[in-house]
Amino acid sequence: MEATKKCCENRHDDEVCGCCAEKIEEHEDGDIRADIIKIAIAGVLFVIGIFLHGLPHHLLLLLAYLIVGAEVIINAAKELVKEHSIDEEFLMSIATIGAWAIGESAEAAAVMLFYAVGELLEDIACERSRKSITSLLSLRPDEIVVMKDGSPVTLPLGDAKAGDIAVFSAGDRISVDGIIVSGETLVDNSALTGESIPENKTVGDMVYGGGLNKTGRVEVRITKPYAESSSARILELVENAQEKKATSERFITRFAKKYTVAVVALALLTAFVCPIFTGYSETFRGWLYRGLTLLVVSCPCAFVISVPLSFFAGIGCASRNGILVKGAASLETMSKMRAAALDKTGTLTKGELTVVSVEGDGDTLRLAAYAEASSSHPIAKAIVKTYGKDIDYSKIESVSETAGKGVAAVIEGGEVTVGKGESSSSGLEVTVRKNGAQIGKILLADEIKPDSAEAISKLKETGVGRIVMLSGDRKGSASEVAKSAGIDEFRAELTPEEKCKELEKIRQESGITAFCGDGINDAPVLASADIGVAMGGLGSDAAIETADVVILDDRLSRLPAAVKISRRTMKIVYQCVAIAFLAKLAIIVLELFGLAGMWAAVFADVGVTVICILNSLRALNYKPR
């Protein structure tokens, strides 16, 4: 990311911006190409050098060594002088310079050459991982078409402002958030939510930056420019997620610093103290060679690269599945989750009233819809939506709405009233009267989401031993939803403060607990949970700001998937640490007994690092079921 800062520091406060993204990518690709050329030249010189003798032999090996090793030595010296610390470059520099001092010029050049190859492979693997993750949101278009004075005009993407009318044809990547004002199409939001089935979008519907316009031409009134769009926010959070380091990652960072110092001390003891205790039965040169080899084999590269990369890959995998994890720490904590507390409205249920049943004659629903047609009340919207036919407003002579009491209208010469909702165990009942006589009832309820029961079942399968629903709704309604979802425990009629207290009880009794809510009303509980999971949807700024994890498409079934991804990631982290530690320990033991040389040390350093990197990238392609 150093290249990023150089590109942006004068104008954009060290952030990656649209105008610089292409330059940064070109810079990184250019660095890799330059490294490949250097290694190729050094490799040719090395191969020629080992077949020569005398001065040409040493000169070619020295030249090969300096081509790939000069920068390593300079960086090690800078780190030592400026930061007073030693790292893997310091270890490699001392080991190879020492090898030159005892006449092992071929091994010194080979070690530095293979170290350069290993660093190159690491850079390529990390770059591929970064590109794979950024490609989840597809390529950012450089330009956007907006309407100016009735004509389409092409502008740089950054010049489009809120309020402008953008035009997207079939096949275009939607680059901004906005509301459709003209046209109809299918939008593929798989890059944002992981949902593969396109959604039908028409006038009045919201679309989000990152979606793919599949079928029709639409005009969209921009509500947020690209820099504030869903795709830009998500991409920024994913790329910056490593700033929130996991406990294990912080441990590896601290461990590597102390480990490097310990390795240098052990190498010095091996080289200068062991000959004394062995009575110089072996030459000083032999023990010095072992000490230098110890420096090579003990480089902490495999630890300090593969662990962060595993977390980064796990975060990318979650993003691929419509789950935004805001840092490695959140991913690690989720893997240890033992209990889950869930909100009801908007989490287990759809969060909006739906007509469940209509009692009365065949005209009940039609008259109620006509009476409620002009109202913006949730009950009115649900009735009109269920009626589903065009309203003939010429038949409505007058309408009056009284807050808290209902609606009265004169329709086709008769007086129709739709009374206020009365709560019942099954939902909300409204009465429909015509000319004073009751002609029917309409029952409305907040329906449970189709995947809620399946999500609870899968969450239990992951080993989350306790699931509790915390709701501010009435006990009867909460009981019905909990029963339908397969939840054994629930608390009802809770204030936000009481939810926080209940969550703390669950945490004390069961261990690490996640709370899953809608990201707005439940912000205090989300903030106080070990893991706050927001069913925020694409447009919820509050969700993204408050929660540790955001489920982008509001599907609760993403929650068990998130748990599985986190546990898979942690398994890979532990594997990488075990592979690196055991391989290095084995070579160190063999080296102390004189059974391994620098070639084995190179494998234990470079080879094991590459193996660990390839293993860590498996987290990116994991598909939870």
Active site amino acids: 343
Which token pair is 36? 């490949």
Helix (H) or strand (E) run with residue 491 in it: strand 489-491
Dihedral over Cα of 259, 262, 268, 269: its sign:
negative
Distance CA 442, CA 214 (A): 39
* Calpha distance 372→400 (Å, rounded): 10
3-state DSSP assignment of residue 213: strand
Q: Which amino acid is at 35?
A: D
Q: Alpha-carbon distance 11 to 615, whole Å?
A: 38
Pick the closest to residue 58 from 1, 99, 19, 103 (CA basis).
Answer: 103
What the block records as the tokens of 69 is 């090793």
180/183 Cα distance (integer angstroms): 7
Distance CA 414, CA 409 (A): 8
Question: For residues 513-522, b (16+ Cβ closer than 10 Å) or e, as one string?
Answer: bbbbbbbbbb
- Looking at residue 141, the DSSP 8-state letter turns out to be P
Q: At what angle do helices 247-268 and 301-320 cross, to 10 degrees?
A: 160
Are 203 and 241 in contact by the 8 Å Cβ rule? The answer is no
Nearest to 108 by CA among 592, 624, 116: 116
Could you tell me which residues come within 8 angstroms of residue 40 by beta carbon, excluding any fewer than 6 positions away? none
